[in-house]
Amino acid sequence: MKKLIIAILFFSAFYSQFSQAQTGNIYANFDDVDAAFTTFSGATFQKVANPSATGINTSAFVGQVTSSTASTYEGIYNSVLYTKMDLSTMHTFKMKVYSPRIGNVVLKLENSLNKTVDYVSVTVATTKVSEWEELYFDLPKAKTNLYDRIVLSFDFGDNTHNLEKWYFDDVTLIAPPGITKVTLPNVFSSNMVLQQDMLTSLWGWAPANESVEITGSWGRTVTVKAGADKKWTAKIQTPKAVSGQAPQYTLTFKGASNTVVLSNILIGDVWICSGQSNMEFTMTPNLPWTRGVLNYTSEIAAATYPNIRLFKVPRNSQPLVVDNCEATWLECNPTNVATFSGVAYYFGRELYLNSNINIPIGMLLTAYGGSSCQAWASREALAGDAELNTKILIPYDAAPTTPTPELRATNLFNGMVAPLIPFGIKGALWYQGESNASNGTFYTKLCGAMIQDWRTKWGLGNFPFYFAQLPVYTDPNWPAFRDAQTNMLTFPNTGMAVTIDLIDPDPTNIHPINKVEIGQRLARWAMAKSYGQEITYSGPVYKSSIAQNGKMIISFHPTTIGTGLQSRGGAALTEFKIAGADKVFYPAVATIEGNTVVVSSTSVSSPTIVAYAYSASPVPNFTNKEGLPAAPFRTDLWNNDILFSGIVTAVDSPKFDDEIIFPNPVKDFLVVGCGKAIKSIDIFDISGKKIFLTMSRNESKMILNVQKLQTGIYFFKVKQIDGQDSNRKFFKI
């Protein structure tokens, strides 16, 4: 192995918007280095005294940065090393870095002939700022081609520090050490929670063809053999969790040369929690970005729940899929919860303390402040839709390092979601959208593609996906964006926690501190939809409207009314506006009449449209009697395909008198009737594929066994003896 020891002085991050390239000197001690190494863009090699010193000896770095008029090289202003070394036989690129701030060290591998490019990046640890830190880059899988360029750069994520100095030292290419024993990814560790009552996936590495015996102390054993690629996968049945109990288990992985024993394992429900800063928002302050949750001192002090377990994936934006993450499972206590997500913690605590659930809860947190939705979507998800491919993936591929790391399409999926798949989960929580709010026109499609792709890759069916709608903020794009979020309810097994009423003491702050309410509202969706509890889980959600005598009468989905409608504190309803055909809105008088709201204005004699809380920073007070806020809406923009609690309204087309369908959503048996003799009922999935046909004995009511259907939306066509038919939708849970 040839070893190159270098220290690189960087004076710019690599952003292509600069018109001139900044070039730094490269200092190297040629220790058996191939003469084929050359330099690029004016950078020069020089020897450095004592390059491996633990401290910075600035007197050794005598070169001066000079401006270059040469054109930039794909936005990289810094150093390019050329070599003819075949990297397909290499495994790891190791170096030391000295950085004055957090950022990403980027290694770019190129083949100039066929334009092959691979990127690998590693984030400098927070604790290692202004210290020497040894970094390891796992190279991409073996390639048949030779790379002839290695590009090293530092990406801070903006251009405000482009004159700061970054030092690199002890750069080494390491051949694969070979897998010599049973090894596990970090998502499997002591203190973890395994998903209950399922064939849960396990995976890892071992020498090729070596058998691995896996034993759960609950009485299950499976044996698997590693493949030629030294990877193995297995499934093991987990027991059903029992409310009020939390027995501790072990999981043992036994290979030919070693045994790995994981202890203090609990069996319960695992929820993955993802999104951007409001999901990442920690219990304790993380200034200047977050101020800590409401009453954080007392909340953290009380957070001793050993049967709630926490797993926090570190920020890691990667252009290629990685198979591991640097994290471990921890028990929930004041020390560990302080730097954990407030929303995720409150959600998990709410489930655990519910007397009808009360089983171990695992919270898998993978969030990155400022991130875009497309960063959490896989390449397959984006490439599979023509619009997303054209508007997102193709521009990203043309300039993959132009956006900041948290905005790069696919990169957070690669570095922060892929390492978790297919770990057994109950469902997912999502709090994201601020970074996409300026262009919400196709957010519903984008997020829907991500949801479906996650579900496909996990292989667990349409697992629950509950999300928080954006709260009050000063951005004028947010009302329309909240519509895009509401439209996500068209996807099966989704739920939305409305947050429009959680007005922060500082309404201009994009990070409201009342995270307990958000966690609790998301938990209500889970309690009702994932745990079958008969509770009101949402505030009023618009269903339909009619104009009558110069007024608009607004109806709401029955399951969201709860025990009745109200205004908070009994005050007059606020934030209702009304318009006619000209779509000029005027403040309106709104009154609750039974389960409807009647809206009018003396300025609009023939109203056609009503809007509620449809502004960037409304101060709404409309709730149900359970205190849950109504979702913002505009009647003319409402999507009538929205499935709310699985109940389809406007898209149904009943034609028969006395037509019935219940329950909807349905778990086991669906009752269908139409008052006349039924000839047959065809059931189709959402793609139009016929699932099965049921023939009738000329009965007017039929009971359909739908237990074997996966969770999702289905259609059925009822045919009567007289030849008429009626099409309906139902939702299987």
Q: pLDDT for 402-438, tens place per residue?
A: 788 899 999 999 999 999 999 999 999 999 999 999 8
Neighbours of 233 (CB within 10 A): 12
Q: What's the mean pLDDT in 48-61?
A: 32
Q: Residue 64's pLDDT band (boundaries 50, 70, 90)?
A: very low
Q: What is the CATH number of domain 306-316+329-529?
A: 3.40.50.1110
Tell me what the mean pLDDT of segment 483-488 comes to: 92
Buried b (16+ CB within 10 A) or exposed e, 332-347: beeebbbebbbbbbbb
Is a pLDDT exceeding 90 seen at residue 671?
no
Per CATH, the architecture of 3-174 is what?
A: Sandwich (2.60)
- Residues 492 and 732: their CA atoms lie apart, in Å, by 9
Quote the pTM value. 0.72
Mean pLDDT of the region 105-122: 57
- Of the listed ranges 303-312, 382-391, 420-429, 694-703, the least confidently predicted one is 694-703
Looking at residues 295-324, what average pLDDT do you find?
Answer: 94
| Banded model confidence at residue 65, pLDDT cuts 50, 70, 90 | very low
pLDDT of residue 121: 56
**Band of the pLDDT at 171, cuts 50, 70, 90?**
low
- Matching CATH number, 660-732, of 2.40.50.180, 3.40.50.1370, 2.60.40.1220, 2.60.120.650: 2.60.40.1220
Phi, psi of 260 (to 5 degrees): -110, 125
Output the pLDDT for position 709: 81
DSSP state of 315: P
Mean per-residue pLDDT over the chain, rounded: 78
Q: Where residue 3 falls among pLDDT bands split at 50, 70, 90?
A: very low
Average pLDDT estimate for 147-174:
54
Element (H, E) at 277: helix 277-280
pLDDT of residue 689: 64
Q: What is the rounded distance in angstroms from the CA atom of residue 281 to the CA atom of residue 311?
A: 15
Mean pLDDT on 134-156: 55
Looking at per-residue pLDDT, the higher value among 107 and 257 belongs to: 257
Order the strands of the 45-46 sheet from edge to edge. 45-46, 26-29, 3-8, 167-174, 92-98, 132-138
Tokens in use for 2? 């040839």
Two tokens, residue 683: 């059931």
* pLDDT winner (highest mean) among 226-235, 349-358, 509-518, 723-732: 349-358
Residue with tokens 């009101």: 536
Q: What is the pLDDT of residue 528?
A: 94
Say what the alpha-carbon torsion angle 702, 705, 709, 715 is, to the nearest 10 degrees. 0
Given a cut of 60, whether residue 206 has pLDDT beyond it is: yes
Please determine, for residue 182, whether its predicted confidence score (pLDDT) is greater than 60: yes
pLDDT-above-70 percentage for the chain: 69
Do 68 and 22 form a contact (C-beta atoms < 8 A)? yes
- Report strand pairing: 465-468 vs 494-497: parallel
Q: Which helix (H) or strand (E) holds 121?
A: strand 116-123
For 503-550, how does the pLDDT look when each residue is reduced to its tens digit (9 = 90+)?
A: 887 777 889 999 999 999 999 999 999 999 999 999 999 999 999 999
Residue 140's pLDDT is what? 55
Helix, strand or coil for residue 390? helix
The three-state DSSP-derived secondary structure of 424-487 is: CCCEEEEECCHHHHHHHHHHHHHHHHHHHHHHHHHCCCCCCEEEECCCCCCCCCHHHHHHHHHH
Which contacts qualify for 243-246: CB closer than 8 Å, 24 or more apart? 243/355, 243/356, 243/357, 243/358, 243/359, 244/358, 245/359, 246/307, 246/359, 246/360
Picking from 181-185, 268-272, 669-673, 711-715, which range would have the lowest pLDDT averaged per residue? 711-715
pLDDT at 11 over 60: no
Q: Are strands 586-587 and 149-155 parallel, antiparallel or unpaired?
A: unpaired
- Summarize pLDDT for 694-727 with one digit per residue, the tens: 666 567 777 778 887 877 667 777 777 776 666 6
Q: Which of 210, 230, 231, 222 is nearest to 251 (CA)?
A: 222
The residue behind tokens 């499934």 is 235
CB distance 633 to 485 below 8 Å: no
Q: Is the pLDDT of residue 51 over 70?
A: no
> What pLDDT does residue 301 have?
98
pLDDT of amino acid 50: 35
Report yes or no: 223 and 214 within 8 Å, Cβ to Cβ: yes
- Domain ranges in the chain? 3-174, 306-316+329-529, 542-637, 660-732
Please say if the pLDDT value at position 578 is more than 50: yes
Q: Supply 51's token pair.
A: 């390059």
- Using the predicted structure, report yes or no on whether residue 170 has a pLDDT greater than 90: no
Question: Do 426 and 195 meet the contact criterion of CB atoms below 8 Å apart?
Answer: yes
